[in-house]
Amino acid sequence: MDLPKRIVGNWKMYKTPEETKKFFEVFIPLNLKKTSEVWFAVPYVDIAFAKEAVAGSDIEIGAQNVHEAKEGAYTGEISVEMLRGVGASFTLVGHSERRRYFQEDEAKISQKIQRALEGGLSVILCVGESQKEREEGQMKEVLTRQLIGGLKGISSMEKITIAYEPIWAIGTGKAAIPEEAQEAHAFCRKCLSMLYGEVVSQTIRILYGGSVSSENGSSFLKQNDIDGVLVGGASLKPEEFARLANI
The CA angle 189-163-127, to the nearest 5 degrees, is 85
Q: For the window 194-233, what string marks contact with ligand PGA as x by the rule CB under 6 A?
A: ---------------xxxx-----------------xxxx
Nearer to ligand PGA, 116 or 209 (CB): 209
What is the smallest separation between the CB atom of 99 and ligand PGA, expressed in angstroms? 12
97 is catalytic: no
Tell me the per-residue interface mask from 149 to 188 with ligand PGA, x by CB under 6 A, - otherwise.
----------------x----xx-----------------
- The least CB distance from residue 180 to ligand PGA, in Å, is 15
Supply the minimum distance, in Å, between the C-beta of residue 127 and ligand PGA: 12
Who contacts 135 (Cβ-Cβ below 8 Å, separation ≥6)?
A: none
Phi-psi region of 103 (alpha: psi -120 to 50; beta: other; left: phi over 0): left
Q: Are 180 and 210 in contact (CB under 8 A)?
A: no
In angstroms, what is the minimal distance from the CB of 240 to ligand PGA? 11
- Interaction of residue 62 with ligand PGA, rule CB under 6 A: no
Q: Out of 37, 60, 165, 185, pick the active-site residue.
A: 165
Is residue 121 a contact point for ligand PGA (CB under 6 A)?
A: no
Is 52 known to be catalytic? no
Q: Which residue is nearest to ligand PGA (CB)?
A: 232
| Residue among 104, 122, 100 at smallest CA distance from 113 | 122
Residue 126 burial by Cβ neighbours in a 10 Å radius (0-12, 13-18, 19+): buried
The least CB distance from residue 90 to ligand PGA, in Å, is 14
Helix, coil or strand: residue 194: helix
Binding status of residue 10 toward ligand PGA by CB under 6 A:
yes
Residue 158: closest CA among 43, 40, 3, 42: 3
Query: What angle (nearest 5°) sits at the alpha carbon of residue 139, between those of residues 134 and 142?
Result: 125
Helices first, then strands: H and E counts in the chain: 11, 8
Is residue 129 involved in binding ligand PGA (CB under 6 A)?
no
Out of 37, 95, 104, 185, pick the active-site residue. 95
Chain residues in the site for ligand PGA (CB under 6 A): 10, 165, 170-171, 209-212, 230-234
The catalytic site residues sit at 95, 165
